[in-house]
Amino acid sequence: MRAHLLRRIALAVPTLLGVSLLVFLMAHAGGDPARAIAGEKAPREVIERVRREYGFDRPLLMQYGSYLRGVVKGDFGRSYQTGRRVSEDLSRHFPATVELATTALLIAAVIGVLAGILSALRPRSLLDASVMTGSLLGVSVPVFFLGMLLLVLFQGRLPGGGQLGFASDFTPDRTGFVLVDAFLARRSDVAGEYIAHLILPALALATIPLAVIARLTRAAMLEVLSSDFVRTARAKGLSTGAVVMKHALRNALVPIVTTVGLQYGTLLAGAVLTETVFSWPGIGRYVVESISRQDFIAMQGAILLIAATFVLVNLVVDLLYGWLDPRISRG
């Protein structure tokens, strides 16, 4: 298992280097950073001074090397617009995305796996058709449309924007996670208000992974339920619940875990539309605002953090493979 872990970490390093280089080149190809900082109507001498001050007059390879040295030390640079270090901005926005994505994944995993199992137990039934139709709709309906629809349907009953109400004086200054800090501070009122704000964006974000998990769980369970060892377990007189939970589900977990892990990485990276619709102060919204302001340093730092998170999630999934099926780690 240790050798398997080291191999996966060794593969993650060039992946992150490639992402950082690609994002760096795309950011510089999108426009003149010096002009973006100084302003479109700034005189040429001001733009040249900014270019020298930020080192934009050096060759791109040297700029990239300086950027990498800073990233290794945890320094993503300083935002052009806010004046704060990008690492400080990311530490404020990233916990909001983690809380939203984790809640959405829990909803998707619990409902999706349960729906997939029930559908596989009754193939070609009304329940099976309903699950497949619902999963097709879940994949097909755009997240931004579903988000706006939820806002209209639950207007006045559930809050539809932000993390907390405008009158809230609570600041998550311990861990950065509002719900965790609310429990640590014994502020049940804040926790309840936060959960109320979290429901609609989490439901909207959970629809696509829920549909994907349900369909894949159904396919994996159908394959396992037709296996010889399952027929043998049934012939021994085991109950349906014991056959499903102790025999079938365990052997179907590898593809399910794969899908759940990849969906979590996708949720962390792809919550842009949901965060925009619900005014959720997460990393996706931060990326959109950075791009609209041509804040290249902030955009680079945010995308690199998202890529590192995605790689880390894949690494955890690979380790779960080895735990669920030791043949994978030995191979």
Residue 78 main-chain phi, psi, to 5 deg: -120, 135
pLDDT tier, 325 (very low <50, low <70, confident <90, very high otherwise): low
Query: Is residue 208 within 8 Å of residue 220, measured between CB atoms?
Result: no
Q: What mean pLDDT comes out for the span 282-287? A: 88
- The domains of the chain are located at 2-72, 87-330
Q: Give the Cβ contact number of residue 189 at 10 Å.
A: 11
Q: What fold characterizes domain 87-330?
A: MetI-like fold (1.10.3720)
Q: Is the pLDDT of residue 81 over 80?
A: no
Lowest-confidence pick of 53-57, 90-94, 178-182, 188-192: 53-57
The full 3-state SS of the chain, as one line of letters, equals: CHHHHHHHHHHHHHHHHHHHHHHHHHHHHCCCHHHHHHCCCCCHHHHHHHHHHHCCCCCHHHHHHHHHHHHHCCCCCECCCCCCEHHHHHHHHHHHHHHHHHHHHHHHHHHHHHHHHHHHHCCCCHHHHHHHHHHHHHHHCCHHHHHHHHHHHCCCCCCCCCCCCCCCCCCCCCCCCHHHHHHHCCCHHHHHHHHHHHHHHHHHHHHHHHHHHHHHHHHHHHHHHCCHHHHHHHHCCCCHHHHHHHHHHHHHHHHHHHHHHHHHHHHHHCCHHHHHHCCCCCHHHHHHHHHHCCCHHHHHHHHHHHHHHHHHHHHHHHHHHHHHCHHHHHC
pTM of the predicted structure, to 2 decimals: 0.85
| Whole-number pLDDT of residue 108 | 94
The pLDDT of residue 256: 87
Q: What is the mean pLDDT of residues 37-58?
A: 81
pLDDT in tens, 152-170: 888 878 887 788 876 677 8
Confidence of residue 113 (pLDDT cuts 50, 70, 90): very high
Q: Give the pLDDT band of residue 28 (cuts 50, 70, 90).
A: confident
CA 18, distance to chain mean position in Å, is: 20
Residue-wise pLDDT for 195-219, tens only, equals 999 999 999 999 999 999 999 999 9
